Structures are given as C-alpha cells and as structure tokens.
C-alpha cells in the first residue's frame, strides 16, 4: 500500500473515507491478483479506527477476498524524544488490532518522517534523513520499549519484526543482531529489509554478508530490490528501483538462507516508482516461483 498516500488530493485523510472509497482502492489490490493485504499505516491506521469503522473496513477487505496476515507501521520512531512514548502507545494498539483482525506479525522501526528536502527529491533515500543517537541511554531505551512491545505481542501470539533502515539503531546487520539479542525474546525478530540499505548512494555492506548475519533472526520481511552501480575508480554509487528478480540482491539465495534457519513469516512486497502496484504483483509471483513447494504424497 505504499503506492497510496494517507492524505487525499482534497486534503482529507483516508481515516475519514467512506466504505465505498476504501473499496475503490482495495479493488486495485484485488485486481492485481492479491488475496492478502498489509494496510500499512502510511495509508490507513486501522488501529485508530473506531470499532464500528474497523468492522466496516474488514467487511470491505473481505468483500474483495482480502485477508490481513501482517501489519506494518512506518515512520513512527519508537525512540523519538518528542513523540516516542506516543508511538509506543500506538504500537500497543496496533498489536491489539493485529490480533483482532487475524494477523500474525507486526513490523516496527526507528525511522521518522521524511524531511522537506527528502520530499522534494526524486528518490528520498538520496537525501540525508533522520539519524538515531547511539549513546548507551538511547540503546537501553530502545531495548526496554521493544521488550515491552514484544511481551505484549507474545501474550497475543504475535511476532514483532524490526525494520532495517539507514542511520537507525538497526541500520546495519551488526546493529540489528545486537538489538534483537539484547531484547532477548523469541518473538522479536529482524525485518531483513536490506533493500533500504542497498539503495543508498554510499558504501554499504554486501547484501550476502548482511544476510549471513541476520538470517537466523529473520521475521516478517519487507522485500524490494534495486540496481546498484559502484564505480571503484571514483567512488560514485548510483541506484534505481528494480523488480525483485532483476536487482542486485539475489532473493533466491537470500530467502534460502533464511529458510535454512526456520523462517516461516509473511513477506510484504514493495516497489517505488512507475506502476509500483503492478511491479509488486510481479514480485509476488516471483516469490511464489522460488519458494519451496509443499511436498505431496501419493
């Protein structure tokens, strides 16, 4: 749903749309062949809908044959000094709502809203965004808040995954592994969204080296890919979005690495640029081709 903004051209919020308007949007999703939906709170905060409106939304989703196996929160930094506490409280509402709608996982992160320069750029990741502090107190706060959310999720039978994103506490494979290890809850895992890092116009760790570290901890996973060109003579780096099977990351290999460590969580397919929904649909089809098929018996 990253193709669909939460604020409409007329200034209204999707929170206030009618069931018929929600239906028009979800018709796009169903027409692209999807039977599962992550509403993604950049489009709609289902955790902030009144009970009757949530029921209405779920009825609309069901009318299009859509279920919700997982929910992502985006740009709601859990350790933001001004609004972090409010984001944690919202996170608890998301967990309760996820359990109510039948989801099995929720993705959280430490990255904040796009700044004005990022909003003006063709590709926002080419402009420097928010950086997390790295002092011990901030780290301890992150561990504490994640453990609180993780314990709540465990009580509900849910998994939490932490989205890797540049310049955050989980902006590297080493940082992500250290954080989930410090939280030390079996249901708190890593959202191995290494596409967020491969797209950066700066030196980054090789995708396979990252996967070797994070595969044992992989949970609900946002997958997208980029073409990455590095000029060793000048140090220049250029990237552009690409369908999963055509980009720099070999997802056949990356996914097999995670499966070898017991990965059994949902995927969220993403793509920026062009008809992102249609490319997400091709990404879905690619995943279905490369995932192991259930063994059948005669």
Q: What is the pTM of this model?
A: 0.95
Give yes or no for a contact between 110 and 77, defined as CB atoms under 8 angstroms apart. yes
- Is 185 in contact with 151 (CB distance < 8 Å)? yes
Structure tokens at 169: 């506490």
Calculate the alpha carbon distances from 146 to 10, 80, 143, 183, 215 in Å. Answer: 37, 13, 5, 7, 20
pLDDT at 297: 47
* Strand ranges across the sheet with 159-163: 70-72, 105-108, 159-163, 188-191
C-beta of residue 116 within 8 angstroms of C-beta of residue 105: no
Measure the CA–CA gap between 217 and 191, rounded to whole angstroms.
Answer: 9
The residue with tokens 């940082």 is 175
Angle formed at CA 253 by CA 247 and CA 255, multiple of 5 degrees: 95
Tell me how many degrees the CA angle 32-199-126 measures, rounded to the nearest 5.
Answer: 110
The token duo for 236 is 């220049």
Residue 238 has a pLDDT of 97
Nearest to 192 by CA among 128, 284, 273, 259: 259
* Cβ atoms of 156 and 96 closer than 8 Å: yes
Identify the three-state secondary structure at position 232: coil
pLDDT of residue 293: 83
Residues of the chain with pLDDT under 70: 295-298
Give me the residue label for tokens 């990741």: 125
Sort strands 159-163 and 267-269 into parallel, antiparallel or unpaired. Answer: unpaired
Q: Does domain 69-221 have CATH number 3.20.20.150?
A: yes
Determine the Cα–Cα distance for residues 20 and 22; give it in Å rounded to an integer: 5
Q: Which of 200, 193, 205, 248 is nearest to 226 (CA)?
A: 248
First to last CA, the chain: 40
């Amino acid at each position: 749903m990253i193709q669909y903004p939460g604020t409409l051209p007329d200034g209204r919020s999707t929170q206030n749309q009618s069931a018929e308007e929600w239906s028009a949007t979800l018709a796009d999703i169903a027409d692209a062949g999807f039977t599962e939906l992550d509403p993604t709170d950049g489009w709609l905060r289902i955790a902030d809908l009144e009970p009757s409106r949530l029921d209405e939304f779920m009825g609309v989703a069901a009318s299009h044959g859509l279920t919700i196996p997982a929910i992502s929160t985006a740009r709601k930094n859990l350790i933001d000094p001004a609004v972090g506490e409010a984001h944690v409280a919202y996170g608890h509402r998301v967990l309760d709502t996820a359990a109510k709608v039948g989801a099995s996982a929720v993705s959280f992160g430490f990255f904040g809203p796009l700044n004005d320069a990022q909003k003006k750029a063709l590709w926002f990741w080419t402009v420097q965004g928010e950086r997390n502090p790295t002092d011990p107190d901030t780290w301890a706060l992150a561990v504490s808040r994640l453990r609180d959310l993780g314990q709540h999720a465990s009580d509900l039978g849910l998994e939490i995954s932490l989205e890797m994103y540049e310049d955050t506490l989980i902006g590297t494979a080493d940082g992500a592994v250290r954080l989930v290890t410090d939280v030390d809850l079996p249901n708190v895992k890593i959202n191995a969204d290494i596409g967020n890092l491969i797209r950066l116009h700066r030196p980054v760790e090789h995708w396979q080296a990252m996967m070797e570290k994070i595969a044992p901890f992989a949970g609900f996973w946002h997958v997208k890919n980029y073409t990455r060109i590095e000029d060793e003579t000048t140090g220049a780096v250029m990237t552009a979005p690409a369908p999963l099977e055509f980009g720099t990351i070999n997802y056949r290999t990356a996914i097999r690495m995670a499966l070898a460590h017991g990965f059994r969580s949902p995927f969220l397919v993403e793509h920026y640029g062009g008809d992102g929904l249609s490319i997400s649909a091709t990404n879905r089809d690619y995943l279905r081709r490369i995932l192991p098929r259930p063994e059948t018996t005669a």
